[in-house]
Structure 1
Amino acid sequence: MKPLLLELSGWGPYPSVNKIDFSKIQKGELFLITGPTGAGKTTVFDGITYALYGEVSGKTRLKDGLRSDFAMPQTETYVILEFSHGRNVYKVERHPKYMRPKKRGEGMIAEKEDAVLYLEDGSVISGVNQVNQKIREILSVDYQQFKQLSMLAQGEFMDLLITKSKDRVEIFRSIFHTQIYEKMQTLAGEKARSLKNDIIQLENKIEEAVSGIEEDPLIHAELEKKDYYGAFSRVQVIKKQISAEEQKIEKELQKTEEKLRKIEQFCQSVVDLQEQVRKTESEADYLKIEAEEAKDRKNHSKEKAELMKTEMIEIQKKKERRMILGDAFRRVEKGKLLIVQKGEIEKKLEQQKIRCAVAKHQKWEEIVKKQQQMQQQLLTDKQQLDRWKEKYQNADENLLSEKNKLSKMQSRYFAANVGILAAELKDGQPCPVCGSIHHPQKANTVENAPKQKDVEQQALLVETIQKDFHECYQKLMEYQEKISVEERMLIELQKDIPEEPEWNDGWNRREKLNVADEESLYQQIQREFALLCGKIDGLPMEIKELLKEEDKMRREDAQLSKEIESFEKELEKVLKNAENDTVDYARKKVLLEDAQLKLEHLQKQLPEQSFVENQKLQREQLHQEQFKLKKQKEEKLVYLDRLCLAGSSLKEKLKKRDNLEKKYGIIGDVDRLINGSNHLKLNLEQFVLISYFKDVLKAANLRLRKMTNGRYEMYRQENVSDGRKKDHLEIEVLDYYTGKKRSVRTLSGGESFKAALCLALGLSDVIQSYAGGIQIDILFVDEGFGALDHESLNQAIDTLVHLAGEQRMIGIISHVEELKERIDRQIIIKKKKEGSQIISS
């Protein structure tokens, strides 16, 4: 990165716009930034870093205090930097956050922080965060790295030389970001301790897992020796022994249960047999009683059936009476049917009468409606006649007016033509009209005469109006004829309108009816009614009498039917009961005999009481033996479950412990290696820092030997008592004049400056090399040259010139007068009461 143009406005000590054109300074050239103390020399570098990263380098400078106290209210505070990187040119503009007086009125107003980056292709990036990100992408270094590569600040590189080793460690940690190695050390230690604690906890859990089975002396002995695999093996042996014992007990238990099962079966069979005897005895007693009761019911049913047979003669007489009544009912129904038909015909005749009335009223309504329609049409036509009369009169008046207008226009037009012809007549020449050669009195010329076009248009208008007039006349005649015909038809219709027929609002008018059809149907129904009345009058007197007695006969018939039905049901019930009782008696008699035979058979099967008592005693003894065996089995199974559970848990935890110990073996080795438990007694971060430190000293010595005429070289002090202490970056110098090494703090002021400058330049070289080949083409060296003698100053300048010859621009920030004489390219900053100003560059 090379700056091309820096523009500062209202910035620090600069109250107005100041520009520095770095493009005039060539690579490999030294330049001097000079001016009085406090003039703003270092502010130039602050402007560059703020433009790029929004940060300033000074420890006492704050981003919120960048606006110049000398700036006018209307002056903006900003920094613009044009710079090249590779083959591309960029421009970045930043405005810091600041307060300024209002341009109008009193008080202060806040300006927000902002940034804009203009790229090579013309695109623009806005916003502080976006510009910061893009700058880091372009330069591939952050603010701290850029500062370390491009600025050797006043006093800082001297501090790097003479500071204590532990402080130098913190500086190098910050520069090379080695905190990550410390984190690795911490993580490795924590992981190793965590794994070790996990192993201890797991071993405690292993002892807990087998604590319930420690009564075995061999297991207890293995646990005392921490031989967990031995304990596990002993658990497996005991499991096999317990399983064998449990199986032996199970076989004894099965034998006992088989004996017990047989005795139980015998005892149960005796109980079942005794129960069957008791039930059979009870059943035989019950069946004996049931048989006697069935026999009594059978005899009673037979007696009742014989008694009811004598009542059958009376019932037969009642049935014959019902047959007579049935014949009478059939004849009565025939007469009743005729009467019902008569009623239906009467109803039908009345309905047809109504339909005839409705048809007549509908016909009357049609005639009245037609009359109303004709009256309405006549009224409409008369209105049309009046309109056409009015149009006819208007057309007649308009035609007369336009004809008069046409006549006048034609007269004036012809007179005008005669005037024109007369004006052209000359004496001695014949008139084209009359042929006279003398023209004593010529016609006068008519002024404002109409043109032929106007006359023709008027004639067309008259012709159009005349057509309208004839059309109106034709319409007038048509409507007069039409009205005359309608009036005659209306008079004829009024003569035919009858009086309004009878009407009832309850009648249905929705159906369209024909008067002739409805009256014809009415007459047909009247004829049917007359015929039916004749049939009714011709019925025999016997049927007429029966019709009068019908209700009485029907009550008698119903009573007879009920009595017959009740008797027949009772008879059927008695006969059925008699049959059922006979069958039931026979069945129960057979059941009683079977029960008695079964009882005799069961009583013969019952064993002797002494044998039964002996079997019961054996059963009780077997129950006690079974209980004892089951208890032993349960105890063995419980212990076996404990062993299985302990064995399974022990196996699982041993496997986990093996895995943890395997991991701990690797992590522990790493932890000891990177945390200082090694022959060097150095942790990983210290080892990396020493590596960087050696590279820096190697790069610094390339310049220090030349600046000290080969007298001095810097080395890391090797005789460190304990590398884990923070004294492993101590510097000592080898003095080739004496051949001895001594502390760097024994160097004189000038020698210390040379060593510090070389150390800072070496550090810059190493940082740049480790930054992936990033090239920063400018370096600022801030003060520190006042302590050098003439020869040392020349050597320092030669070193910087040599460094600049490596494609760098190097700027020295100093007010030393001798530098002004040695360096031609100068940026001079003048300090005034109203602020600083860059007056030469």
Structure 2
Amino acid sequence: MRLHRLDLTAFGPFGGTQSVDFGELSAAGLFLLHGPTGAGKTSVLDAVCYALYGSVPGARQSGQGMTLRSDHAAPGVRTEVTLELTVAGRRLEITRQPPWERPKKRGTGTTLDKAQTWLRERDAASGTWKDLSRSHQETAEEITQLLGMSREQFCQVVLLPQGDFARFLRADAEARGKLLGRLFDTRRFADVEKRLAERRRAAESRVRDGDADLLADAHRMQQAAGDTMELPELTPGEPGLAETVLGAAAVARSTARERLTAARCRLATAEAALAETDRVLDGVRERDRLQRRFAEARERAARLQERSGAHREAQTRMERARKAETVAPALELRDSAEAEHRRASGAESRARALLPASLADAGSAGLAAAARRAAGELGGLESARRAERRLTELLDERAGLDRQERADREVLEDAETWLADWEETRAGLQAGIESAQRAASRAEQLAEQREPARRRLNAARLRDRLTEDARAAGEQARVAREQALAAKQHWLDLKEQRLNGIAAELAAGLTDGEACAVCGATEHPAPARKVDGHVDRETEERALTGHQQADDHRAGAERRLAAAREALAAASAEAGDTATEQLAREAEELERQYAQARETASALHPAQERLRRAEQEHELRTAAQREAAVRAAARVGHRDRLDREHATLEEELTRARGDATSVAARAEQLERSAQWLTDAADAARTAEDAAQRLKQADARLADAAFRAGFDTPRDAAEALLDDAAHRELQRRLDAWQHEEAAVRAVLAEPETAAAAQRPPADVASAQRAAEDAGRRVREAASARDAADRRCAELDRLSARATASARRLGPLREEYDRVARMAGLTAGTSADNERRMRLESYVLAARLEQVAAAATVRLHRMSSGRYTLVHSDDRTGRGRSGLGLHVVDAWTGRERDTATLSGGETFFASLSLALGLADVVTDEAGGVRLDTLFIDEGFGSLDDQTLDEVLDVLDSLRERDRSVGIVSHVADLRRRIHAQLEVVKGRTGSELRRHGAR
């Protein structure tokens, strides 16, 4: 994986758009990312991680949707990160935008835009970019598959966090296991441990459940057997539980079968006695039934004799009813004719009541003639009706003409009033348009003047601020120069004093009998002695160091002064000599005039619209005035025609109305009179016909009654029976006959007559004897059934217990096997001497690879002194497998990594990080990692160690890698020429390149 370019917009501390060309930075192999604390060095690495995985490393990822946005960004600028890279031979471009609370396009407030992602690939043949996906999920899957690493692995392998690996060196086994588990994804081995532990618990639970079920069945058998089964106190999991339960069950089954045999014998004896009593009871019941049957028959015969007279009367009545049925049709015809005659007479009376007195006694023919005369007169009024309707229409037309005249008069008056002010209105609207147009031109002129004035004002404010900064920097440079001169003078003075007293230092090393280093003499009679205020080498070196530091501080102060003066000159050139307050007033006045001109110009379109609507209204008013005049001229002739037609119709209607109020009233009178006469004539004819049919019905009824044998028609009517009475009478006659035949049949039965001659039967005594025998049978059967159920229940529970015991055998074997495996993988088994868990075993192998890869670089960084080794030894009560020691070649001893100094810890953790990067890269399928970043930690190294560390990092170029160092150590800026500086300011941070090719 090689990074080419990174573009940031409104991300982290970067308020605007910043670009990083990793291609130029990586050309030197090593490049430095530096800047003051809080400027945003780590935010550049966060942007790389966010572009690849959609989230940032570590704790920064919480709430990322809002915290990634720069507080310095303008409200309308959206946060965006674009990364161009090559991975697996493919040139890709990833663009991500987190969720954004942007201002609404209309109105106030904000609205939420969703996160966006774009993935593109460069076509090498055509040199163009083609879109691959806009899906977050598809992009994440594609990048993860190409890199072969999760976000956690990428942050540990590419963005090397030295603080994490320093803690890793000093951590215990559990902490190391957590980090390695995240990087190498050993969750499947932890899952194996967890799965085996779960299987052990499940197997133990199944064994205990099986024992509990077997013991529950034993208690059930004990309850079923009663007092014949003895069971000792047992608990689930107790050895020999199944054998004890099955033995007790066998004894209980044998005893239950013996009791069942005895119960069956008692039941057979009771059933034989019951059969004999039942036979005797059946004979007594039969004799009692025949005796009661004979007595009931004698009673029924006596009751029939008592009702014989009523039976003969019913027979006589039935015969008369059958004769009367022949007269029934004539009776029905006469009743129908009589009812029809009554209805016709009532209708005739009601119709004649509506007629005038002169026609009250007229016959049907006279009434019909009068109705025809009224209908003829009614037909003559049809013409008068049409004339009356036309007169109503004329009145409506006249009213309509009056309404139109009033409406046209109002239209004319309104149009004349509006048109009288037209010229003045048009002139006013035109003046408003011209004023708005002049304001628009003025606004355009002022808009061109606003931006130069604003730039001059900003430059003047910057000029004033830089003037103060330049003055302060000049004062600091003066003080630094004075301090540097004083420190140099102090060092020279001390050096001179030391040279003057150097004889005392040499004399301190003289020994009698040994040659002097200056003169070669072996005797030293008068060696020089140190006097008060003697300056030794250490004091001189401290003064020299103070002088160098003061000189560095002076050089830095002079650089800051030169930069401040350069910035002040640029700001003064743009702002000029005009005072800032005057420029602010001029800019404010321009803004006020511009706002006023824009407000006036905004009325141009409404003014034009008002003029257009006024002209349309003028045309409409003029047209309405002309149309109203034409309609008024046409109404004069129309009104004269209506007046002449109205007079003619009034004369015709006066003749047709007569004494009625209107033609319609007269026609209503004639219609009502004709209807009454017609109805009365029809009713009279119907009444005459009904009277004739009634006479004919009376004659036929009298003849039918005489032929049936009745003296009068009334006698025949009284002898008739309705359907219900006829059925009831026939039922009584049939019941009499059936009862009489049944009594004779019972009295003729020989068995019944013979039973009546014997003594009365004693059913109660026989019933009591049978009940006693039945009770004894039920008791014996209940005892037999209970014994049978006991045997069946014991057999069922015994079979169930036997099956449970068979099932428990394999379960116990499985539990023993799984428990041994679970204890071995969890490190709790006695067979696991080092108490090493399965996951720890796998991680130990990975840690051993990492230690070997790290030692290659650590050996070079430490000048061959240190070697990292992996240890399986246990520490205290903890488990073994993840120990990490360092071997010191100077002492030949192996010691814990926690004993390393600060600088040693740094290059040891750096070696560990680089070794881990190699191992994880191989684990990810050999994906090339051509760009690495190392975050901080170099401040703890001395010059020699720093050179060795940089040589190791520079050796990564042999594999065509580039390494970015994130640090604010000043010495690295002189050693590494390719640099990316992060400069922070009030408006946000900026990125600047130095020395990159």
Q: TM-score range by the shorter chain?
A: 0.5 to 0.7
Amino acid at match of 1:42: T
Amino acid at match of 2:231: H
SS at match of 1:715: strand
Deviates more, 1:84-93 or 1:706-715: 706-715
Aligned to 2:270: 256
Aligned to 2:483: none
Mapping of 1:75-114 within 5 angstroms? 78-85=80-87, 86-94=89-97, 114=115
Paired residues of 2:80 and 2:98 also in contact (CA < 8 A): yes
SS at match of 1:719: coil
CA–CA distance in structure 2, aligned partners of residues 508 and 297 of structure 1 = 67
Mapping of 1:199-348 within 5 angstroms? 199-214=207-222, 220=231, 226-228=240-242, 231-232=245-246, 235=249, 238-239=252-253, 242-243=256-257, 245-246=259-260, 249-250=263-264, 252-270=266-284, 272-273=286-287, 276=290, 282=295
Shift of 1:693: 1.3
Paired residues of 1:166 and 1:727 also in contact (CA < 8 A): no
**Residue of structure 1 aligned with 2:932, choices 779, 785, 793:** 779
CA–CA distance in structure 1, aligned partners of residues 900 and 746 of structure 2 = 145
Paired residues of 1:27 and 1:805 also in contact (CA < 8 A): no
Amino acid at match of 2:3: P
SS at match of 2:95: strand
Deviates more, 1:248-257 or 1:682-691: 248-257
CA–CA distance in structure 1, aligned partners of residues 873 and 752 of structure 2 = 127
CA–CA distance in structure 2, aligned partners of residues 746 and 117 of structure 1 = 49
Q: Deviations over 1:144-180 (max 9, x none)?
A: 2221121122433333223344432333234345456
Paired residues of 2:835 and 2:880 also in contact (CA < 8 A): no
Indicate whether 1:29 and 2:40 are aligned: no
Which residues of structure 2 form unaligned runs of 5+? 122-128, 314-340, 342-347, 349-362, 388-669, 680-698, 720-732
Shift of 1:761: 0.8
Aligned to 2:882: 729
Mapping of 1:545-584 within 5 angstroms? 559=711
Aligned to 2:179: 171
Shift of 1:686: 1.9
Aligned to 1:650: 801
Q: Deviations over 1:98-123 (max 9, x none)?
A: 999x9xxxx99999785442523544
Indicate whether 1:810 and 2:958 are aligned: no
Paired residues of 1:152 and 1:781 also in contact (CA < 8 A): yes
Shift of 1:759: 0.9
CA–CA distance in structure 1, aligned partners of residues 835 and 886 of structure 2 = 24
Amino acid at match of 1:29: G
Aligned to 1:637: 788
Aligned to 2:979: 826
Identify if the C-alpha distance between structure 1 residues 75 and 838 changes in structure 2 by more than 3 Å, giving closer, same or farther. farther
Aligned to 1:668: 819
Amino acid at match of 2:181: R
Shift of 1:42: 3.4
Paired residues of 1:116 and 1:124 also in contact (CA < 8 A): no
Amino acid at match of 2:219: S
Shift of 1:801: 3.1
Identify if the C-alpha distance between structure 1 residues 757 and 261 changes in structure 2 by more than 3 Å, giving closer, same or farther. same
Paired residues of 1:15 and 1:69 also in contact (CA < 8 A): yes
Shift of 1:87: 1.7
Identify if the C-alpha distance between structure 1 residues 737 and 266 changes in structure 2 by more than 3 Å, giving closer, same or farther. same
Larger radius of gyration between Structure 1 and Structure 2: 1
Paired residues of 1:32 and 1:812 also in contact (CA < 8 A): yes
Paired residues of 2:162 and 2:913 also in contact (CA < 8 A): no
SS at match of 1:713: strand
Which residues of structure 1 form unaligned runs of 5+? 305-339, 341-346, 377-499, 510-546, 568-576
CA–CA distance in structure 2, aligned partners of residues 239 and 59 of structure 1 = 73
Amino acid at match of 1:83: L
Amino acid at match of 2:824: L
Identify if the C-alpha distance between structure 1 residues 207 and 216 changes in structure 2 by more than 3 Å, giving closer, same or farther. farther
Aligned to 1:765: 918
Shift of 1:683: 1.9
Shift of 1:257: 1.1
SS at match of 1:119: strand
Aligned to 1:42: 42
SS at match of 2:874: coil
Q: Deviations over 1:221-277 (max 9, x none)?
A: 696974325634653674476356535633552343134312430344245436646
Amino acid at match of 1:813: V
Shift of 1:90: 0.5
Identify if the C-alpha distance between structure 1 residues 3 and 359 changes in structure 2 by more than 3 Å, giving closer, same or farther. same
Paired residues of 1:15 and 1:68 also in contact (CA < 8 A): yes
Aligned to 2:582: none
Aligned to 2:909: 756
Amino acid at match of 2:956: L
Paired residues of 2:293 and 2:752 also in contact (CA < 8 A): no
Q: Deviations over 1:427-471 (max 9, x none)?
A: xxxxxxxxxxxxxxxxxxxxxxxxxxxxxxxxxxxxxxxxxxxxx
Amino acid at match of 1:257: E
Aligned to 2:854: 700
SS at match of 2:231: helix
How many percent of aligned residue pairs carry the same amino acid? 24
CA–CA distance in structure 1, aligned partners of residues 778 and 76 of structure 2 = 111
Shift of 1:602: 5.0
SS at match of 2:872: coil
Deviates more, 1:786-795 or 1:255-264: 786-795
CA–CA distance in structure 1, aligned partners of residues 12 and 706 of structure 2 = 138
Identify if the C-alpha distance between structure 1 residues 285 and 51 changes in structure 2 by more than 3 Å, giving closer, same or farther. closer
Amino acid at match of 2:754: K
Identify if the C-alpha distance between structure 1 residues 71 and 675 changes in structure 2 by more than 3 Å, giving closer, same or farther. same
**Residue of structure 1 aligned with 2:872, choices 713, 718, 721:** 718
Aligned to 1:492: none
Amino acid at match of 1:220: L
Identify if the C-alpha distance between structure 1 residues 230 and 28 changes in structure 2 by more than 3 Å, giving closer, same or farther. farther
Identify if the C-alpha distance between structure 1 residues 713 and 289 changes in structure 2 by more than 3 Å, giving closer, same or farther. closer
Superposition RMSD on alpha carbons, in Å? 6.2
Amino acid at match of 2:158: S
Paired residues of 1:287 and 1:588 also in contact (CA < 8 A): no
Paired residues of 1:10 and 1:16 also in contact (CA < 8 A): yes
Paired residues of 2:931 and 2:962 also in contact (CA < 8 A): yes
Shift of 1:780: 0.7
SS at match of 1:3: strand
Aligned to 2:120: 119
Shift of 1:783: 3.2
Shift of 1:815: 4.7
Aligned to 1:157: 165
Q: TM-score, normalised by structure 2?
A: 0.49
Amino acid at match of 1:81: L
CA–CA distance in structure 2, aligned partners of residues 82 and 12 of structure 1 = 19
CA–CA distance in structure 2, aligned partners of residues 288 and 65 of structure 1 = 117
Q: Deviations over 1:401-420 (max 9, x none)?
A: xxxxxxxxxxxxxxxxxxxx
